């Protein structure tokens, strides 16, 4: 669990730093996935019983969701969103 100090931004928290951290995690994840079959059960079956295929699909969904959130924030900061957002 993060401490309150972990929630503060400091000078080391640059975009380049966090992109590098993200890319390190991508490589670590790729290594794990490459070493397993997609039907392999995950190690923590006491928490959830699922296979690597499920985890990969979930990660694709989460990445897309957060990329969408980031896109909305980026557009709102540039002022490219309409003043009112209409429901779909």
CA distance 8 to 29: 27
Virtual CA dihedral for 25, 58, 9, 22, nearest 10 degrees? 20
Q: Is residue 4 part of a domain?
A: no
Q: Is residue 2 part of a domain?
A: no
Lookup result for tokens 């557009």? 75
pLDDT tens string 9-68: 888 888 898 889 989 999 999 999 999 999 999 888 888 889 999 999 999 999 888 888
DSSP category for residue 4: G
CA distance 50 to 42: 6
Q: Is residue 64 part of a domain?
A: yes
Do residues 37 and 54 make contact, with C-beta atoms less than 8 angstroms apart?
A: no
Q: Is residue 66 part of a domain?
A: yes
Task: Please state whether the predicted TM-score (pTM) of the whole model is above 0.85.
Answer: no
The tally of domains found in the chain comes to 1
| Domain residue limits at 57 | 9-78
Q: Is residue 3 part of a domain?
A: no
Q: Is residue 44 part of a domain?
A: yes
Residue 86 has pLDDT above 60, yes or no: no
Confidence at residue 83, expressed as pLDDT on a 0 to 100 scale: 56
Q: Is residue 83 part of a domain?
A: no
CA distance 19 to 39: 30
Q: Is residue 68 part of a domain?
A: yes
């Amino acid at each position: 669990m993060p401490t309150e100090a972990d929630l503060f931004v400091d000078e080391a928290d640059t975009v380049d730093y966090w992109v590098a951290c993200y890319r390190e995690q991508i490589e670590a994840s790729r290594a794990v996935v490459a070493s397993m079959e997609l039907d392999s059960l995950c190690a923590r079956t006491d928490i959830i019983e699922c296979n690597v295929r499920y985890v990969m699909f979930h990660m694709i969904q989460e990445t897309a969701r957060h990329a969408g959130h980031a896109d909305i924030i980026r557009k709102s900061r540039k002022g490219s969103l309409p003043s009112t957002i209409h429901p779909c």
